[in-house]
Structure 1
């Protein structure tokens, strides 16, 4: 009868165990890596991102600034510590599926009441004939112990793999930050050169306008113009001079933005004396869209996070299954220190195996499982969004490079034409064949056109920097 009873209990336990192994169904979504075959119908496999940033940005002053930023930028250094945190998380997860070994020692003393069950029993106990149970009772122990959870469902190994994927994602996150940092320094540097050019243009125009003002004053003395013309020319000079100080303030802010990026306090930023409009944008080869999957750090980061999210589902699923743990210990224990190393009397050891399975009230495990699945689907959408964003960024910047080049050509012709018109208007004004308002308007239009030309060049250089960033360059 007892034999059948034990068989029945075993079948009940096995049935409950399989019940505990049952996992709920989840919504699935599979990511797609399909991207268009080309950018704007350009099928060129050459890719400018294969150039290191030192070869892409050839200005020696800009190279120095970028090098300093990669060493001193605080945000980048913070990210490096986040990578170290992720690396330590991998070590922690790896340690969980290895046996835990430790040593233990202790000493104590105990006195129980005589009129208790233990005290009454101890009073009638003799260790040896004629030797009573010691009171108070001392206790000395030294030994070693081990615990080990057998990873039969790969729960702990998958947790470690997930930590590895997140570590790799943090590395890619650092690479993406490097890409952003390189492009941000380059943007600020070119903006600074553009402001220098604008300041130089303003100074030249102040000189031109002062000369025109002298002419107007002479003409007023000869009664060829009225005081109104003089005041209008003076107002234009004052307006242009005010622009000079506004640009100087923008230069200070641009310099300090660079100083912040490279991790130093405000100071002068050394830069090229080359005229900004003379800079020739680099010829860009965008390659093919599939190269973004390997070149863009943010795409690779999203991919690693997706891998980690999938592994988290496996870890959460394994919590529904029984876990098998083994614990063991061996040591020496005695009530008197002189007996502690007397074997085999003081020797003790233990070996235990545990099989634990969740049966009732598994809501917490289900919630963790559903959460892991939701995060995995979220990671898929994030991966798809990152790829889509990368493609659109490249397509936009390629179009911008082409359109800004055409715009710059027409703006250059406009500036040339207005420069000639300034000379013509001054000559006509001196010979009384043009009104002073024509001279003022022509000078204003010429100044605005020069500013527009610099802004167009800035947009060109911005596109050159942005396309390098969009293709995933700068971090290698």
Structure 2
């Protein structure tokens, strides 16, 4: 009769555990789309500039020295290194969860039972040795080893460890992405600095031209060929151009300090090339194939790893619905007198327990965790697709920009040459009274603006060269 009752409760328990394991809520997952167009344009060439190391892509030794310093001392990059260490330690923590946990225990205490209770009355009547009663109060000394182990029958713990490994790899790719951005930001700031140097030279040259023209106007006034108005207009133009150099010098200071900040150091002069931006030619760029973005872009690889980790999180959350099997063991010595601890086997204690546990009633929290894990996987899939799309758009935009800037630069170069020549023509015409002073002023002003625009276009060309390298995934190797 007793045996039948035991079997009955075991059967009921098994049915309950089976019911708990089988009633997993259904969710809708998403499969990511990682397809890319066959090519950026009609040409299909697998040669990719992203494979070139930044020390070879940038040929300016001053720029390379700045980048090298930043990669060692930039604070944001060093903070990211610590984040990588944190995720690496998380791997060890997850790994330890599915290994047996073994510990040592030692303790001492005292216990006094009330006499008129079952335990108190029992202790009063127990004799340890002849003519020796149970001591009162009762001391207790314990030395033992214990172990607990959850058998990972559903790979819940192993999947959690794999998710930690994947997130560690994701942080590494995140660090690589920061490196690409850092290299690009320093390069763009460096070329901006060269452009400001060029603009400052242009302003100073224009001041000399305008000052010379002012002297001519003064001579013309003495000869009564122009009025005082012409002299004042030329003086105002010289003052206006002279004030521009201080605005440019302020921009140079701010740009140098921005570079110093990226290098992790206090403000100081930035060593740079003296040949000017005019003599710098953009490097040739090979875009390769769009499918290469999946392997070259760190942010794309990071999004892919985050998606893989999210899928593992679903498996971990799903395993919470299934029964878990735990084993615990204990072995040691226990006695009310320290001298009795060495008396074996009387003082020896041991235990071995197995637990099979599954959620049955309060499963709302587990269900919410499982549904949230699935929702995060869907988010990660969309984020992966968006990252690929963004990478392709960035490359396509920069390729178009490179072509358009090249055409624009060629036309602006011709414009500058024409306006530079027109300055001499207008001066000659003014000396012979065949042109008034306003024509001279406007010609000089147009020439200055066109030279500024030409420098700005060259800077944009260099920035496009940097940005396409970054968009292709170069700079972190």
Specify the alignment match of 1:337 in structure 2. 338
Specify the alignment match of 1:11 in structure 2.
Answer: 11
Q: Give the Cα separation in 2 of the matches to 1:326 and 1:220.
A: 107
Distance 1:375 1:48 in 2: 35
Residue equivalent to 1:34 = 35
CA distance in 2 between counterparts of 1:111 and 1:373 reads 55
C-alpha separation between the residues in 2 aligned to 1:41 and 1:26? 43
| Partner SS for 2:334 | strand
Instruction: Map 1:226-305 onto structure 2 (within 5 A).
Output: 226-305=227-306
CA deviation profile, 1:404-434 (whole Å, cap 9, x unmatched) = 0111000000000000001100110011110
Map of 2:365 onto structure 1: 364
| Whole-Å separation in 2 of the counterparts to 1:51 and 1:413 | 34
Counterpart-to-counterpart distance in 2, 1:212 and 1:96? 84
Quote the Cα distance in structure 1 between the aligned partners of 2:7 and 2:133: 47
State the TM-score, normalizing by the size of structure 2. 0.98
CA shift digits 1:142-198 (9 cap, x unpaired): 110000000000000000000000000000000000000000000000000000000
1:97 counterpart = 2:98: yes
- In structure 1, the partner of 2:120 is 119
3-state secondary structure, aligned to 1:112: coil
> Comparing 178-187 with 103-112, which one deviates more in the overlay?
103-112
Q: Work out the CA distance in 2 between the residues paired with 1:28 and 1:335.
A: 61
8 A Cα contact 2:29 2:377, kept in partner: no
Partner residue, 1:394: 395
The SS at the match of 2:31 is: coil
- Describe the superposition over 1:117-158 as per-residue Cα deviations: whole angstroms up to 9, x where unpaired: 432322222112211111221111111000000000000000
Match of 2:470 in 1: 469
Q: Counterpart of 2:154 in 1: which secondary structure?
A: coil
Distance 1:88 1:268 in 2: 41
More deviation in 85-94 or 22-31? 22-31
Residue of structure 1 equivalent to 2:44: 43
Give the deviation of 1:440 after TM superposition.
0.4
Residue 316 (structure 2) aligns with: 315
Q: Following the alignment from structure 2 to structure 1, what is the Cα–Cα distance between the partners of residues 440 and 148?
A: 93
Cα distance between partner residues in 2 of 1:4 and 1:121: 34
Q: How many residues align?
A: 476
Indicate the SS of the match to 1:340.
Answer: helix
SS in 1 for 2:281: coil
Tell me whether 318-327 or 336-345 shows the greater mean CA deviation: 336-345
Q: Any idea what the Cα deviations from partners look like across 1:28-66, whole Å, max 9, x if unmatched?
A: 210111100101233111111111000000100000000
**CA-CA distance at 1:115 after TM superposition:** 3.6
Match of 1:135 in 2: 136
- What CA distance in whole angstroms lies between the structure 2 residues aligned with 1:36 and 1:206? 53
Who is 1:196 aligned against? 197
2:342 aligned counterpart, secondary structure: coil
Relative to structure 1, the CA distance from residue 8 to residue 119 in structure 2 (aligned partners, 3 Å threshold; closer, same or farther) is closer
Q: Whole-Å Cα distance in 2 between the matches of residues 115 and 313 of structure 1? A: 57
The Cα of 1:8 is off from its aligned counterpart by 2.7
Q: Distance in 2 between matches of 1:23 and 1:181?
A: 46
SS in 1 for 2:315: helix
5+ residue gaps, structure 1: none
Cα gap change, 1:408 to 1:305, in 2 (>3 Å): same
Determine the C-alpha separation between the residues in 1 that align with 2:152 and 2:189.
Answer: 54
Q: Secondary structure at the match of 1:102?
A: strand
Partner secondary structure for residue 38 of structure 2: coil
Match of 1:355 in 2: 356
Looking at structure 2, the residues matched to 118 and 23 of structure 1 have their Cα atoms a distance apart, in angstroms, of: 47
CA apart distance, 1:294: 0.5
| Cα distance in 1 between the residues matched to 2:83 and 2:224 | 77
Q: Does 1:213 align with 2:214?
A: yes
Structure 2 residue matching 1:354: 3-state secondary structure: strand
Structure-2 separation of matches of 1:115 and 1:426: 124
What corresponds to 1:448 in structure 2?
Answer: 449
CA distance in 2, matches of 1:86, 1:453: 49
User: Does residue 1:385 correspond to 2:383, yes or no?
Assistant: no
Shifted more, 211-220 versus 116-125: the winner is 116-125
User: Which string of whole-angstrom CA distances, capped at 9 and with x for unpartnered residues, describes residues 268-297 of structure 1?
Assistant: 000000121111111110000111110000
Structure 1 partner of 2:163: 162
Deviations 1:436-458 (Å, cap 9, x if unpaired)? 00000000000000000001001
Deviations 1:286-338 (A, max 9, x none): 00011111000000000000000000000000000000000001001111111
Residue 438 (str. 1) matches residue 439 (str. 2): yes
Q: Distance in 2 between matches of 1:251 and 1:203?
A: 15
Of stretches 356-365 and 37-46 in structure 1, the one that deviates more from structure 2 is 37-46
TM-score after normalising by structure 1: 0.99
Q: Post-superposition shift, 1:2?
A: 3.5
